[in-house]
Structure 1
Amino acid sequence: MFKEQFNVRFYETDGLAHVSNTVVVGWFETGREPVFKLFSPELDLQNWPLILASYKVDFLSQIFYGKPVEIRTYISRIGNSSFDTYQEVWQDNIKCASGTTTMVRYDFSTEKAVAIDAHIKTQLNEHMFAVEQDS
């Protein structure tokens, strides 16, 4: 599992005094940065090897300004050329949101998906999602 913790910024709140639903998708992308580095250690955008194929977010509890959040990122599926990340937002020991994103290793020059290298699959496997007991 990868973890990223940061403070909720004021501009991320909405008129209802909680974090806007659009913010969580951005937090999840930030939480995937260590996964991106497995494919491109320098995050070289001129030779980017991934595309986002889909994502789904479930909102479980409100998230508030003034308290830090933690983004937990796991790998939940590894295919030939694609993989899924499963992510959670935690605040005050409460899971506030979860989501799954499908990423595809992609060759932009041929406009085709390509197989994920074996050594990267090994690294992805180190972060496979394990069901944790609720506390």
Structure 2
Amino acid sequence: MADDIVQDTFLRIIATPSLPEQDFAKSYLYRTANNLVIDHFRRERILSFVPDPEKAFEMLADDTPSPEQIAWSRQELKRLQKILQKLPKHHREVFILARIEGLTYVQIGEQLGIPSQTAFSRMVRALGLIKEAMDQAEKK
């Protein structure tokens, strides 16, 4: 085990793109080794709860969505697309820029020529309208 940790320590240090200054190199080496020892004992503690550690990963649940989950997600996406099409244009634009494009409200404001507070308030209103429409669709 000690040999493995020493080897892993040097592999980590070699793979580090920017090493610390020479004054801190020794402490960096010790800290890296210490962290690897801590990680090792954490793994050991977790694996002690598993009857056969070699098969531990086989016991993990498969997170691949089922055909039912895929079908449901597609239906929800279609429903959301219809709701987005019915939103007022200025609310829809902000929603798409924020949630799909990943822009900040400042960036949205700059792109649309509006204050960032207006972009934020339009987003709040868009989310409210979407929630109302989704709730109404569920009641049907």
Taking structure 1 as the reference length, the TM-score comes to 0.25
Taking structure 2 as the reference length, the TM-score comes to 0.24
Q: Which has the larger radius of gyration?
A: 2
User: Which is bigger in relative contact order (C-alpha 8 A, separation at least 6)?
Assistant: 1
